[in-house]
Structure 1
Amino acid sequence: MKSPLSPKQGTATGTATPGPFASFVRFVVCGGGVGVLSSAAVPLLAALMPWAAANALITVASTILCTELHALFTFGTGRRPGRREHWQSAGSATAAYAATSAAILVLHTVQPSPGMLTEQIAYLSASALAGIGRFLVLRLFVFPDRTSRPTTPSTAVTLPLRPTTATPAFSAAA
């Protein structure tokens, strides 16, 4: 029986394409790892510039880094992402940022002075849902599994490479 973590073979580039579960685990590890590093980098950079500017710079850098990691490792494309993939990834990251910001805005509208624990629960819940949405967008649209779809329609007619000779049903020499 094939393990859900074992990769599918046979992509156009000859690299192994991880299955959905393995891709999700890799997505969490890569995205989470970069997220932890980013959360440490923002305050360090904020010592040199306004916090909003530091956060924006780190967000752009971490999105570019994550897109590279997701293309090469998470989804096993076997190649670095192009501009299209970077823009699509940036779009999904922007949507995730908007979702988490909206969750906090709604929380502060419903409860004007929430405690830190309540705020973290709302933020992390929204982040988890946004992360699942981002994973699906990246897996299905940005870095789709090319092995599961035919690349060209199978309507070609095969012709023999050399003419065949017919064998007579009876022999003239009797």
Structure 2
Amino acid sequence: MEPQTADRTQSPSTPGAVASFVRFVVCGGGIGVLSSFAVPLVAVTMPWAMANAVVTVAGTLLCTELHALFTFGTGRRPGWRRHLQSSGSAAAAYAVTCAAMFLLHLIQSAPGTVAQQVVYLGASALAGIGRFLVLRLFVFAGPRKDPRPSGTVVTLPRPALPRTAVSPAC
């Protein structure tokens, strides 16, 4: 006899919310840490915002693949639709990290590498929480099941027709 779960929309291989979040942190956080080291290296050859954009796009593509296969356990690679949906939350994360770095450079004209890493990773962590929620609730959410049993016929009440006064014929 199988144990019953509270969420009947999940398949046995689909991880729950806590497991998904842990997997999200490992995958997304790992790519985020690698990105935090890649951005300054790429920024040597181009403006920082452009370097952040290039690294963000590459990281987003890789993360979307990992999240589909591992984090949310869909069992298949994401198609273009999920990549496009995922890119919206990545664009928001990009905006958050750029804004955080812009503010850092307003406060300190020449911040050190450690300060940049702390600000970038902090902004990435906050953006990551929002990204997890978007991906779990919208992008990689399983199909919504109809609570009615299949084959249920739904009948709608007929609207009452207004009665009109009938005058006797002459």
Smaller-chain TM-score bracket: 0.5 to 0.7
120, 128, 143: which one aligns with 2:117? 120
Q: CA RMSD in A?
A: 3.5
Q: Which amino acid aligns with 1:20?
A: A
TM-score, normalised with respect to structure 2: 0.67
* Long gaps (5+) in structure 1: 1-7, 158-174
Return the alpha-carbon distance in structure 1 between the equivalents of residues 35 and 114 of structure 2.
21
Q: Which residue of 1 aligns with 2:152?
A: 156
Return the alpha-carbon distance in structure 2 between the equivalents of residues 37 and 96 of structure 1.
16
Between 1 and 2, higher relative CO (CA 8 Å, sep ≥ 6) is seen in 2
Segment of structure 1 superposing worse, 28-37 or 128-137 = 28-37
Displacement after TM superposition at 1:43 (Å) = 7.1
TM-score, normalised with respect to structure 1: 0.65
Return the alpha-carbon distance in structure 1 between the equivalents of residues 40 and 104 of structure 2.
25
Give the SS at the match of 2:15. coil
Count, aligned residues: 146
Segment of structure 1 superposing worse, 121-130 or 64-73 = 121-130
Displacement after TM superposition at 1:35 (Å) = 3.2
Return the alpha-carbon distance in structure 1 between the equivalents of residues 70 and 130 of structure 2.
19
Tell me the percent identity.
Answer: 64
Q: Which residue of 1 aligns with 2:14?
A: 17
Return the alpha-carbon distance in structure 2 between the equivalents of residues 55 and 22 of structure 1.
29
Displacement after TM superposition at 1:21 (Å) = 0.9
Displacement after TM superposition at 1:119 (Å) = 3.7
